[in-house]
A = this chain, B = another copy of it.
């Protein structure tokens, strides 16, 4: 942490970077935003990270600068998190900043991961003026739950639920296709495409035989497919659609969410999307292993049928599972055709 104080103007710039960060989706990576300013403090470009596999915020802003032909010789980059120093799905940001010729960097929170830290040291070694700690608490808070998953060495967990207004995921006779509209289902496929793994319980496989592939609006498969995971002790039928033919299928033979996540983390999974059913969702909710909920709510009432949430072992209102509206990633509420998408995160 640098001892020299930051002024209001710099705080305002970092706040702009934080707002940009919050536009991104939660998942395998933290939410990060970056702002590039000229020598007078005027904002030239704003960038943010859009989820695993896409450019980091720093590279996003550098790409915008390159497209615009911006002269970087006397600029400063404000970035909410310490630029990374490792090769993941994308190259190290510290190196990209040095190579681009940005002479000054101010970042918020330090990178606490062992894999990616060291970015500031690398930039200083290359002669850059690097300061840190500006609105660090806000940057940490924005990624609080993600930080917990890193420390626990487990994947970030998104629970997706598509329900009626009365929280049903199927009618009394079991019919469930489709509760939500095509707009909502397309949004769901985008979420799926960003995840490393999509997980359902054996009950859902036996009841619905889902494919679990990420598809585009016209039904085609997207290029990068998440691992398809079935959790539970019952066997997965040989002809189950979820097995597919691309080898990206895994049966995790446990009922324990901790074990399931540990196995998936070891297999390289950093973001799991749980898509059903209620028993599997409840197992993760009961042990506090859901990091965000993506709730698709269709304007229907059924009055009976399969409930989306059950067996949470909560007896009284004071013991309720408490959530809060999450404004990140386009949230907290979006209208998708006739439906609502409601984005929630655990209360701190």
Contacts and interface: CB of A to CB of B under 8 A. Distances in A.
A21 interface: no
Interface string A179-211: 100000000000000000000000000000000
Contacts of A332: 335
Most B-side CB within 10 Å, residue of A170, A285, A303, A307: A303
A302 B322 CA distance: 9
A274 to B, nearest CB: 14
Given A166-B308, A166-B309, A167-B167, A314 B320 contact: no
A123 B313 CA distance: 67
A71 interface: no
Contacts of A280: none
A interface bracket (residues with beta carbon within 8 Å of B): 35 or more
Interface in A142-200: 164-167, 170-173, 175-177, 179
Interface string A299-339: 11111100111111111111111111100000011010010
Contact of A299 (B176, B177, B301, B323): B323
Contact of A300 (B282, B320, B333): B320
A340 interface: yes
B282 A316 contact: no
Given A166-B308, A173-B315, A342 B344 contact: no
A163 to B, nearest CB: 8
Interface string A61-79: 0000000000000000000
Given A165-B344, A285-B303, 18 more contacts: A164-B320, A165-B167, A165-B342, A166-B167, A171-B319, A175-B318, A177-B317, A179-B317, A285-B301, A300-B320, A300-B321, A301-B309, A302-B312, A302-B317, A303-B310, A303-B312, A303-B321, A325-B340
Interface of A: 164-167, 170-173, 175-177, 179, 282, 285, 293, 295, 299-304, 307-325, 332-333, 335, 338, 340, 342, 344
17 contacts: A165-B342, A171-B316, A172-B315, A173-B315, A175-B316, A175-B318, A176-B317, A302-B309, A302-B312, A302-B317, A302-B321, A303-B312, A303-B313, A325-B338, A325-B340, A333-B335, A333-B340
